[in-house]
């Protein structure tokens, strides 16, 4: 962690990270991060409670964190992996793909710790150096999470600067380093997404993860709604003007059509819900609202899976080579649709492009 929050130094440290030991240790690193977070649960809770006491956060649900790791365990794209895909018997060669890192990834978000945890692990799996940036929301919790991950990286002799954080209320200085940034990921509400899309000169992925839009058409689910609103999550309310509800952060709408238009224009695009007694209106809402997750008379927080996929964070390199090699006196038997074992098989390939040749370890 950098005490001076100097973006030029953060960028410089990211560019100097050596990833030589990362590929063969990814699974062990992810497992160790999961274990270390669990072992430090009470310390994380203390930091989280201080943020909440200072009106700078919400109380973490560790079940959500467990679900993040459960979902990530289903991923099968890892930095450095080589998959053998097709044999050409006539030419006596085989085609394959190698998973390559995207490079230096900047993740601008609203400070949500679930985003920090999932995007840390996803980018470690992808082999990316990662710089998080937000305005300091849940700062104590997030700093502790990153310190924990950095300590795990150093256990594997990998620079802690693989993961860093830059606190700023403005993102111009960070994004002005576009020559040293390979990918920008923006995760937040509609306003933050539009701001970063305007300012970024790099390829930019956006997501409204953990930002929810609720349209309340009648008062038949008030008790349940109050439970949802008390979670402290980022929820934007749209309330029909025919009902009298005293909620803050509310947009009053005349009818269903206006609610749909407002959500489609102002919403995060991630998850929304309608609370209504009308099956007809619920069906229209489902058909016309633009959101990746839509619920009816159910909390929009029920499905909390980030909608950025592992394919978005990696590059794939095509490689071509003979059926078998002899390396150190051993013949490697090449089979189709099989991943090479990075620890036991070390096969050298030459890149078939105009760049300088380099050895690729698998």
Q: Which residues of 177-207 are buried (b: 16+ CB within 10 A; e: fewer)?
A: beeebbbbbbbbbbebbebbeebbebebbbb
* pLDDT score at 350: 29
**Residue 100 near residue 319 (C-beta atoms within 8 A):** no
Tens of pLDDT, residue by residue over 197-238, are: 999 999 999 999 888 999 999 988 888 888 888 777 788 999
Which CATH homologous superfamily contains domain 211-302? Aldehyde Dehydrogenase; Chain A, domain 2 (3.40.309.10)
Identify the pLDDT of residue 346: 35
pLDDT given at position 205:
96
**Residue 228 has what pLDDT?**
83
Q: Who wins on pLDDT, 280 or 304?
A: 280
Q: Do domains 7-210+308-315 and 211-302 have the same CATH topology?
A: no
Residue with the bigger pLDDT between 323 and 216: it is 216
* Residue 146 pLDDT greater than 90, yes or no: yes
Tell me what pLDDT residue 342 has: 56
- The confidence score (pLDDT) of residue 326 equals 40
> Can you tell me the mean pLDDT for 142-154?
98
Which CATH class, in words, describes the domain spanning 7-210+308-315? alpha beta
The confidence band for 89, taking pLDDT boundaries of 50, 70 and 90, is confident
Task: Calculate what percentage of the chain has a pLDDT beyond 90.
Answer: 63
* CA-based nearest residue to 207, from 115, 129, 126: 115
Which are the contacts of 139, defined by CB distance < 8 A and separation ≥ 6? 51, 56, 111, 167
Predicted local confidence at residue 203, as pLDDT: 97
Is the pLDDT at 2 greater than 60, yes or no? no
**11 pLDDT more than 70:** yes
- The mean pLDDT value for 343-347 works out to 40
Q: For the whole model, what pTM was predicted?
A: 0.81
**pLDDT computed for residue 335 by the predictor:** 52
Least confident of 60-74, 127-141, 153-167, 336-350: 336-350
Domain range summary for the chain, segments of one domain joined by +: 7-210+308-315, 211-302
**Contact by Cβ (8 Å): 346, 359:** no
């Amino acid at each position: 962690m950098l005490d001076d929050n100097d973006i030029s130094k953060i960028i410089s440290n990211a560019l100097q990270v050596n990833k030589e030991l990362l590929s063969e240790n990814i699974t062990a690193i992810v497992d160790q991060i999961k274990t270390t977070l669990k072992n430090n649960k009470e310390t994380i809770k203390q930091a989280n409670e201080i943020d909440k006491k200072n009106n700078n956060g919400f109380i973490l649900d560790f079940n959500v964190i467990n679900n993040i790791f459960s979902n990530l365990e289903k991923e099968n794209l890892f930095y450095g992996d080589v998959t053998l895909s097709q044999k050409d018997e006539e030419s006596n060669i085989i085609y394959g793909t190698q998973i390559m890192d995207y490079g230096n990834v900047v993740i601008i978000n609203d400070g949500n710790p679930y985003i920090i945890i999932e995007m840390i692990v996803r980018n470690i799996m992808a082999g990316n150096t990662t710089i998080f940036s937000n305005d300091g929301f849940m700062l104590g919790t997030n700093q502790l999470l990153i310190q924990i991950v950095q300590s795990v990286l150093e256990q594997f002799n990998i620079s802690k600067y693989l993961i860093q954080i830059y606190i700023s209320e403005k993102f111009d200085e960070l994004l002005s380093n576009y020559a040293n940034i390979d990918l920008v990921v923006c995760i937040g509400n509609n306003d933050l997404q539009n701001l970063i899309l305007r300012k970024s000169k790099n390829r930019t992925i956006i997501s409204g993860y953990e930002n929810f839009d609720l349209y309340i058409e009648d008062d038949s689910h008030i008790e349940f709604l109050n439970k949802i609103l008390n979670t402290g999550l980022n929820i934007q309310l749209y309330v029909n003007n025919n009902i009298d509800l005293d909620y803050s952060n509310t947009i009053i709408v005349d009818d269903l059509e206006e609610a749909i238009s407002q959500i489609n224009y102002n919403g995060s695009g991630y998850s929304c819900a309608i609370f209504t007694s009308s099956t007809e209106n619920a069906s229209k809402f489902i058909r016309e609202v633009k959101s990746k997750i839509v619920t009816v008379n159910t909390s929009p927080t029920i499905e909390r899976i980030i909608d950025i996929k592992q394919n978005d964070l990696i590059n794939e390199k095509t490689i071509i080579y003979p059926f078998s090699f002899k390396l150190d006196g051993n013949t490697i038997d090449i089979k189709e649709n099989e991943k090479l074992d990075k620890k036991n098989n070390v096969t050298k390939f030459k890149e078939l492009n105009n760049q300088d040749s380099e050895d690729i370890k698998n």
